[in-house]
Amino acid sequence: MSSCCINWLLLLSLLAYSVSSTSGALFAKTHVLIYNDIGAGTQLAVHCKSKDDDLGLYVLVYRQSYEFSFHRDFFLKTLFFCNMQWNGTVYRFDIYDQKRDDYHCGDRCEWNVHTDGACMLNPQTSNTSGALFAKTHVLIYNDIGTGTQLAVHCKSKDDDLGLHVLAYRQSYDFSFHRDFFLKTLFFCNMQWNGTVYRFDIYNQKRDDSRCGDRCEWNVHGDGACMLNPQTSKFDICYGWNT
């Protein structure tokens, strides 16, 4: 077979893989999120590696998360494993095995870590519209910049969720039941570098049809961007409250 034909076969294989992939693009970055669901008061130490990369140690308080991203391998060989430690015991888990996960979660793989192991968010069963009485989860992710801590203090008319301080690339999650009359509203004061900003992190009339029972936000210098379930990108953006 000529070199020209071989090149065409390789190109066709590449295109076929790209189209069949859950994410729809071979060269799109894959994001992995690890969420501490072990229990109140328990810190989770996470140290993830691949054959080529050491991602360092991250310590997550309960209900915080850590996220990293990478480009997948064309031959389905990407593998990241993590050592996870709490209460003096170390556990190991393959947090991303491309042969296992490529068609399960595509370019965004989210894991809840608990005492018995880890559970992946299933894109096929996660509800983007949600049942009325299902809990809604809101995740706030610090994307401001390396070395910058984000202090988050969220409230509703009835609830004060307390102060949470997030290192860069960490997140905070809270949940609630929505109001039948679409009146649920949570706002957050967010502070870094001595300045406080306010943002409506969940406005039911705005968000109910957009993110359903799971609303994820990237917080950056100019405001916050919501993860769009239709595009799997943080492309629904708003500025700070005035």
Q: pLDDT by residue for the chain (242 residues), tens digit each? A: 555 544 554 444 444 444 334 344 455 788 898 989 898 889 999 999 999 999 999 998 888 888 888 999 889 999 999 999 999 999 999 999 999 998 888 888 989 999 989 999 887 775 434 444 568 889 999 999 999 999 999 999 999 999 999 999 888 989 898 888 889 999 999 999 999 999 999 999 999 888 888 899 999 999 999 999 888 889 999 999 97
Report the distance separating Cα 74 and Cα 6, nearest Å. 17
Residue 165 and residue 172 in contact, taking contact as beta carbons nearer than 8 Å: no
CA 6 distance to own-chain centroid: 39
At 142, the amino acid letter reads N
Domain 135-239, CATH among 3.30.390.10, 2.60.40.10, 3.90.245.10, 2.30.30.30: 2.60.40.10
Pair type for strands 79-86 and 64-71? unpaired
Look at the pTM and tell me if it is higher than 0.85: no
Alpha carbon of 57 to those of 21, 49, 82, 86: distances in Å? 31, 10, 10, 13
Report the distance separating Cα 140 and Cα 218, nearest Å. 6
Phi first, then psi, for residue 194 (nearest 5°) are: 80, 0
Where do you find CATH 2.60.40.10 in the chain?
25-120, 135-239
Domain spanning 25-120, CATH architecture: Sandwich (2.60)
